[in-house]
Each structure stands twice: as C-alpha cells, then as structure tokens.
C-alpha cells in the first residue's frame, strides 16, 4: 500500500491528503500519518472519497469522543452520528 502523502495548499494552513482510501480499513500507521498531518496543517482535504455515514462516524471517532449536534438529523444506520453536508457553489 502506498504511503499517505500530503500536499500543502497554502504556506500557512491546509493540505491535500493523497494515497488513502478512507472507506477502507486504516491501519494504525496510516491513521498516525493523518493525525500528524492534521496537527501540522490544521485543515485536511481528501478528494474523491466515498464514505457511508457510518464509515464517516467511525473514522471521526478515531480522533476522540464525538459530539452530536442537536439540530442535525441522526444517521439511521448507527447511533451517535449526524448528517452534515457541503454543497459547492
């Protein structure tokens, strides 16, 4: 499996993370690379990822305890998740 790489997007903040499929199982080394990149760049972008709400929740839970916003709808497939969305433009 190729090593996760990051490409800074600005001199101050943000990076594109490449060579990772967030829908698949991440081993501890891959997750540590993502955590280190988050600390270094503060904002990470992952292009062309296809995650179910449950996969998204499970990935987020690896970073720590989750907070469920009371106004977002719940994910029907699993407890503790909420659906957020981003619509470009």
CA gap 73, 38 in Å, rounded: 27
* Residue 9 exposed, middle or buried by CB count within 10 Å (0-12, 13-18, 19+): middle
Average pLDDT of the chain? 83
Question: What is the structure's pLDDT at 86?
Answer: 44
The predicted-structure confidence for 29-68, as pLDDT tens digits, reads as follows: 999 999 999 999 999 999 999 998 888 888 988 998 887 7
Range of the domain at 82: 51-89
Residues 71 and 83 in one domain: yes
Residues 36 and 68 in one domain: no
Q: What percent of the chain has pLDDT over 70?
A: 78
Question: What is the structure's pLDDT at 87?
Answer: 45
Residues 40 and 72 in one domain: no
- Backbone torsion region of residue 68, taken as left when φ is above 0, otherwise alpha when ψ lies between -120 and 50, otherwise beta: beta
């Amino acid at each position: 499996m190729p090593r996760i790489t990051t490409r800074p997007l600005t001199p101050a903040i943000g990076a594109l993370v490449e060579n990772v499929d967030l829908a698949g199982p991440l081993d501890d080394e891959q997750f540590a690379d993502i955590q280190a990149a988050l600390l270094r760049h503060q904002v990470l972008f992952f292009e062309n990822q296809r995650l179910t709400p449950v996969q998204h929740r499970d990935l987020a839970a690896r970073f720590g305890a989750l907070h469920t916003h009371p106004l977002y709808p719940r994910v029907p497939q699993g407890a503790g998740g909420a659906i957020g969305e981003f619509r470009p433009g």
